[in-house]
Structure 1
Amino acid sequence: MAAGCAAVAFVAGTSGVAAAVDNLPPKQPLVGDLKTDSKACGTGDEKAYVGGAPRLSAALYDPVEDDRPGEVTMVKGEYEVWWTGPDGVEQRLTHTMPGMPSGFRQPWQVPDGIPANTVVSWHVRAFDGTAYSPWSSEGDGTVCEFVYDDEAPQKAAIDALDYPPDAWSVDGVGVYGHFTVNSPSDDVVAYDYNFIGGPYGTARPDRLGGSATISFLPDRTGPQTLTVMAVDRAGHRSAASRYEFFVRRGRAPVAHWTLADPAGSTSAGAETGTAARAGSGVTFGAQAPQGTALASTARLDGSSHGYLTPDAPAVADPRRTFAVGAWVRPAQTDRNMTVASQDAGQSASFALGLRARDGVPTWSFTVGGVQLTGGTPETGEWAHLLGVYDAETGRARLYVNGHQTGTEAQAAPAATAGAFQLGRVRDGQGYHDRWHGELGDVRVHDRVVVPGEATELSSRKPRLLGHWSLETAADGTSPELYGGTPLRLGPGATIHRGPDGSCIPDIDPDCPAIPYALVGDGHLTLDGESAYAATEGPVVDTSDSFTLGVVVRLADSEPAHPVTLLSQAGEHTDAFKVRYEPSAHAWQLVMPQRDEQGAPGSVVAQTAMADDGEGQGHRIAVVYDDATDKITLYLDGHATIGSTADLPDGWRSSGPLQVGRGHTGDGWWGEYLHGDVDEVQAFSGVLGEHDISQLGWGTEPCLCWYG
């Protein structure tokens, strides 16, 4: 269609007779549809500041499309720009755009030469080839204004209120630091800042050209640098200002009770703070969570006598930042129970514990009447709880086993600071929701405990249960590397020994060609018919966190049926089974939901192989994390999509660890593996990915992480 509309247009009527339609002028451009670069049209104090000749744009409309829907009409935008020069003479530029469809935004790049620091005005109108719209400034409209600012702001000065120069004795991780930034320029609207590794952000002054404050919560110790650039109204950034400082370690708890006191004690000694007297329902010397530094814990019987208290506050002012955490193991989960709280008159300023609603238990942290919940308590299972109240943000968070759970929320704690309580919470005139179970390592901080510290507090170092290198066998058994329970070899199972280095086949024709072992000097060879190896009893507690690693090489690239690499049985079936499924060309982790005859096994995780499993074989690992209720199958140190599954109810198996066989659906042994097995390793606890990558190489992982 030609640009513009004719003065008289014709459209076909329903009767087939042409009907004349008078041309209507384009609509007046709306001020709300005008832009100076990306900034809205403004005048006076609302005018736009730009860093160069701007791009003006407007959306223009022709009303003819209201009468003829679906028909494209064309309009042209006519821009007018003017300003007063230093000699008092008005300067004016005009520009008409090519025709564009009605409703389109028509941009015009103002040519260079616009004077700096001068108020420039502009407006626009539309032309359809016959008629003009009113200017956008006419009637209820307004002129748009902008100023071209050609100077960047000056660098900002940084005043480190909490990190003075050369001071190493200031607070560190978990304690907010504040920096005041101020540029001498009077047109600064923001300060862009970043710290090494984050956070990154923008601080805005309360007034144009004013100073701003940057809050910083350090989450790790070490050298740190704050970089700041001032930003003016035109978007110019100043040169960078930098401030270097050092973050110390987070300060120690203000109150700390390990609760590892000798059996028969009547009070809990304090690592920090005041000793806590114990009610008669408290028994010291109870079991501690494995993999921690705790030697024992305290057991509370859930009665009115099961409590501990220092008879003094642990949190001096609940309105200020604090954190409270502990290792806990509930003896029941069907009622509300309190781990720790602090009195506030006839109520409590905060409480950490367990809530049971409609038969569904969950962990909870209540601050100032606001309750955060998350995670699933399990009877007899250890968990680490941590509640954090951040007074700087006014928000509370709950961590379970080092992971933030639930949704953080705004809270307003009461000002009253009464006695700190373990195992009960004050409500009305008395104490309620008494803890039944174990408590240990109770810590109270007067700072934020950052996520990395939450993970560290909840870590449980894995413990080696057995390492069978399968180098030798004597009297039908292959020893455990450190003198533990050996593996008993079943019929058809042998130990293959690699070459001893006494001769070299390529040089000595009489030297026998002996295949090398998978790892080290030997490996276990299984015939696929009746061969297996097994311990005398269970190795890993399948109801708690564990890690298993093994190296395997299949003798057949396509076995005729599934073959089992590792299993550990209950009374009627296997608690878990790692097997190779030839139809899927993948390793699978199979687990039944219950220990019953004929209970069907579910494939909970699977990882496919890219080759036939020959050559140097593959390193397989199984990791069950009872804290997160996740189980993962690793292939050659890697987990893939589909190799991790939820396992909320792992049950404890009573049978021995089996290498090379597992139970079949009828309850008999079967799925015998044909191939080679080496480096069987078992751990209580969860190995991190770094340690998992070390399994199967003939050495122990460093156990330097908890995953």
Structure 2
Amino acid sequence: MTRHRRMVVAGCVGALLATASGTAYAMDNLPPEQPLVQDLQSEQEPCATADETPYVSQVPRLSAKLYDPEADNQPSEYSSVTAEFEAWWTDTAGAEQRRTYTSITLSSGSNFYWRMPDDVPANTVVSWRVRADDGKATSPWSDEDEGSVCSFVVDDVSPEKATISSPEYPEDVLWVDGVGVYGTFTMDSPSDDVVSYRYNFTGGPYGTAEAESPGAAATLSYLPLMDGPNTLTVRAIDRSGRSSGESRYRFYVKSGRAPVARWKLDDPAGSRTAAAETGTAASAGTGVTFGGSAPSGTGASATASFDGSGHGFLTTGAPAVDIRKSFAASAWVRPAETGRAMTVVSQDADGKPGFTLGLRSGDGGPAWSFAIGGEQVSGGAPETGEWAHLLGLYDAETGRSHLYVNGAEVGVPAEVSPAEAPGAFQVGRARGAAGYRDRWHGDIGDVQVHDRVVVPDEVAELALRKPKLLGHWSMSDAVDGATPEQSGGAPLRLGPGASVYRIPEGSCLPEADPDCEPVPLPLVGEGHLSLDGETGYAATDGPVVDTADSFTLGVVVRLAESAPAHPMTVLSQAGEHTDAFKVRYEPSTRTWQLVMPVKDEAGAPEKVVSWVKGADGGVGQGHRLAVVYDDGADTIKLYLDGQTNTDATTTLSDGWHSEGALQIGRAKAGDGWGEYLHGDVDEVQAYAGALRSGVGGLGWESEPCLC
């Protein structure tokens, strides 16, 4: 019977008194309600008995929530009750022991507690019940009628430590394969009441492995993400929640094993075979041309071009990997078109591909794709003529497929069940019911196949395009009106109103001579560029970075004014009609801004990211600004003093190529120049490629000096 129904019945059996308002109140006292089983607990464990009797780690506190119907039928009066608890058990001599307790008086609906006496024995079933007393009547006991007795057992012994074993990663064996290869670890305590194991691998989160039954062992699967020594720490937990001592299992993980098949595709022009670094050499169709250019900043020296025809393919005549087990396939690719489905790599099954990695086209536009087991993961935005690194991964342990583009996971992992694909491995095409289809048009390089999980750090390393230093101008001196590039590259030529500041010869140091007249120090190193804000600038003879591709620029700048009257640009590189980018200070919003127009047109829409920061007023060490355009990730970021944030980051899907020179201290304004900077500039650095850590590669970690 529910509480609501009991209250209705109780309200009907009492004599009623009608008031002028029409409200009826009970004239006779109504007994408290029978406690409900769901309102009873033994130290936070729900009321249960027999096979469901809970085990607790100490003599428990019993709790019950009790109600008196008068609290609802007579709202103007205070209704209070006490709890009468009763507990019993059979001692070792076979005699029944009983204990009782009456609580303090509390209002109806309160929780009532009894901390059990210390003589409650361990490892013995203790039963209990409770009823409510309002001073005039008592409720039925909680175990009467449809109720139930509650039981508990006090467990005062902690479980024994667990033993740990692993067939894949035996303890203290140097070294065992390896990153990306799952291992199973079995934990087993001699105690017969252990129900779970709390565990932790070095550097990872804590987890819990459940035993199938009390006293049973538990086995977990673990994927090493990095090489080196690793430790598994385990505690056995019994049914009362008691923990064993800590067990430690030390094992040593090798680095991830090499791919089972790899074709660098750097074969000489005119070759009809693609040599295999590992695996089986691949024969080439006549639509494949070797000796193509490779993505910059990678280890690849050349690639192969596929013409998209029926002759544009590479095939091994044999499978590269068992796709029913964990595997990964990857390659550098550059599509010559994106308007149709195209395959980078696949492996033949019966009249269809066992898997395909490539490009799909649909209503939502082109996307990269990894299809296996009838399911597909897709994401990213392929662009004609743009390099991308693709990696498709099937993890047999989790049953999921994943797709990575340029080192980052895209799309939603799919639950898959791959079938056997015993046919040949293909590059540039996929098997269909009536021959091959979805032929690749474009370039492919460095195809790799692994027979294991390739972990995220390895994916990022495979996709890394190491930035190339294009120029570093330290502004330490000027020769014939130009400040040299450190490696002998193109200098920055100084315009009128620009000069290199150095500490005057003969200057002394105040810390060495108290009477010394202090002189300003350069921003960094031995000198910096000073600009007058009217005509001062420095520029190269031509473009430095390819603004259509990934690039990184860094600069140290200090404004001479605390409240400039107009925007001041520190770095820019122009196209025909506007700047491809400019980094400037905008006084109206007190922000440093990176501005990148989406096309080379006057008044074109602009992508703007910014940092709120006041002007320097000619004092301090200035600010370290860095611009990072990642064409692969379609993002631009502005770093200020080593930091970036969401306001300083946005998307830019397609940068455009500019032919203008790199400008220091001014920006394009109509048919001329403007936004001249008044202040000091130092340590200009330019890279092809996006530095991974933003300004980390510029040597600006915390010290003002650049490496």
Q: What's the TM-score, normalizing by structure 2?
A: 0.92
Residues 348/16 of structure 1: CA separation in 2 closer, same or farther (3 Å cut):
closer
State the SS of the aligned residue for 1:619: strand
Matched, 1:494 2:499: yes
CA contact (8 A) 2:698 2:706 kept: no
Matched, 1:572 2:577: yes
CA deviations on 1:66-121 (whole Å, 9 max, x unpaired) are 55679874443322211111122211122233344444443332232210110001
Equivalent residue, structure 1, for 2:690:
686
State the alpha-carbon separation in 1 of the partners of residues 31 and 553 from structure 2. 81
- Out of 666, 674, 677, the residue aligned to residue 673 of structure 1 is 677
Matched residue type, 2:417: A
Equivalent residue, structure 2, for 1:249:
255
- Out of 509, 527, 541, the residue aligned to residue 546 of structure 2 is 541
CA deviations on 1:640-688 (whole Å, 9 max, x unpaired) are 4522222222222221111100123x45311101111111110011222
CA deviations on 1:118-164 (whole Å, 9 max, x unpaired) are 00011222333433222221122221111101101111111221222
Residues 571/47 of structure 1: CA separation in 2 closer, same or farther (3 Å cut):
same
State the alpha-carbon separation in 1 of the partners of residues 218 and 511 from structure 2. 77
How is 1:441-460 mapped onto 2 (pairs within 5 angstroms)? Answer: 441-460=446-465
Equivalent residue, structure 1, for 2:527:
522
CA contact (8 A) 1:499 1:515 kept: no
State the alpha-carbon separation in 2 of the partners of residues 20 and 697 from structure 1. 82
Matched, 1:647 2:649: no
Matched residue type, 2:309: S
State the alpha-carbon separation in 1 of the partners of residues 74 and 343 from structure 2. 73
CA contact (8 A) 2:589 2:612 kept: no
CA deviations on 1:379-408 (whole Å, 9 max, x unpaired) are 222211111111112122211211122222
More divergent stretch after superposition (401-410 vs 215-224): 401-410
Equivalent residue, structure 1, for 2:52:
46
How is 1:235-384 mapped onto 2 (pairs within 5 angstroms)? Answer: 235-315=241-321, 317-384=322-389
Matched residue type, 1:686: A
CA contact (8 A) 1:9 1:21 kept: yes
CA deviations on 1:408-456 (whole Å, 9 max, x unpaired) are 2221000232111111111223222221211111111111111111111
State the SS of the aligned residue for 2:460: helix
**Aligned sequence identity (%):** 61
State the alpha-carbon separation in 2 of the partners of residues 508 and 31 from structure 1. 87
Superposed displacement of residue 528, structure 1 = 0.7
Residues 57/672 of structure 1: CA separation in 2 closer, same or farther (3 Å cut):
same
Equivalent residue, structure 2, for 1:469:
474
Superposed displacement of residue 349, structure 1 = 1.7
Residues 381/64 of structure 1: CA separation in 2 closer, same or farther (3 Å cut):
farther
Residues 131/661 of structure 1: CA separation in 2 closer, same or farther (3 Å cut):
same
CA contact (8 A) 1:549 1:696 kept: no
State the alpha-carbon separation in 1 of the partners of residues 126 and 618 from structure 2. 75
Superposed displacement of residue 22, structure 1 = 4.4
CA contact (8 A) 1:334 1:359 kept: no
State the SS of the aligned residue for 1:256: strand
CA contact (8 A) 1:557 1:614 kept: no
Equivalent residue, structure 1, for 2:420:
415
CA contact (8 A) 1:607 1:634 kept: no
More divergent stretch after superposition (602-611 vs 332-341): 602-611
State the alpha-carbon separation in 2 of the partners of residues 173 and 561 from structure 1. 56
Residues 460/20 of structure 1: CA separation in 2 closer, same or farther (3 Å cut):
same
CA deviations on 1:169-228 (whole Å, 9 max, x unpaired) are 531111111122211111110111111111531122222101111222111111111111
Matched, 1:167 2:173: yes
Superposed displacement of residue 64, structure 1 = 4.3
CA contact (8 A) 1:188 1:233 kept: yes
Equivalent residue, structure 1, for 2:100:
94
Matched residue type, 1:577: K
Matched residue type, 1:312: A
Coordinate RMSD, CA, aligned: 2.7
CA contact (8 A) 2:14 2:30 kept: no
State the alpha-carbon separation in 1 of the partners of residues 332 and 602 from structure 2. 37
Equivalent residue, structure 1, for 2:197:
191
Matched residue type, 1:310: T
Residues 365/506 of structure 1: CA separation in 2 closer, same or farther (3 Å cut):
closer
Residues 13/263 of structure 1: CA separation in 2 closer, same or farther (3 Å cut):
farther
CA contact (8 A) 2:522 2:528 kept: yes
More divergent stretch after superposition (245-254 vs 587-596): 587-596
Equivalent residue, structure 1, for 2:88:
82
Equivalent residue, structure 2, for 1:705:
none
Q: What's the TM-score, normalizing by structure 1?
A: 0.92
State the SS of the aligned residue for 2:496: coil
State the SS of the aligned residue for 2:361: strand
Matched residue type, 1:438: D
CA contact (8 A) 2:32 2:132 kept: yes
Matched, 1:427 2:422: no
State the alpha-carbon separation in 1 of the partners of residues 17 and 541 from structure 2. 96
State the alpha-carbon separation in 2 of the partners of residues 610 and 54 from structure 1. 66
CA contact (8 A) 2:561 2:615 kept: no
CA contact (8 A) 2:621 2:704 kept: no
State the alpha-carbon separation in 1 of the partners of residues 351 and 682 from structure 2. 64
CA contact (8 A) 2:162 2:188 kept: yes
CA contact (8 A) 1:519 1:697 kept: no
State the SS of the aligned residue for 1:620: strand
Residues 606/503 of structure 1: CA separation in 2 closer, same or farther (3 Å cut):
closer
State the alpha-carbon separation in 2 of the partners of residues 307 and 187 from structure 1. 62
More divergent stretch after superposition (141-150 vs 485-494): 485-494
State the SS of the aligned residue for 1:456: helix
CA contact (8 A) 1:573 1:667 kept: no
Matched, 1:59 2:65: yes
Residues 698/292 of structure 1: CA separation in 2 closer, same or farther (3 Å cut):
farther
Superposed displacement of residue 15, structure 1 = 3.6
Matched, 1:133 2:139: yes
Superposed displacement of residue 608, structure 1 = 2.1
Equivalent residue, structure 1, for 2:118:
112
Equivalent residue, structure 1, for 2:3:
none
CA contact (8 A) 2:162 2:247 kept: yes
- Out of 221, 226, 230, the residue aligned to residue 215 of structure 1 is 221
State the SS of the aligned residue for 2:459: helix
Matched, 1:180 2:164: no
Residues 166/51 of structure 1: CA separation in 2 closer, same or farther (3 Å cut):
closer
CA contact (8 A) 1:161 1:180 kept: no
Structure 1, unaligned runs of 5 or more: 702-707
Residues 498/39 of structure 1: CA separation in 2 closer, same or farther (3 Å cut):
same
Residues 570/239 of structure 1: CA separation in 2 closer, same or farther (3 Å cut):
same
Residues 10/472 of structure 1: CA separation in 2 closer, same or farther (3 Å cut):
farther
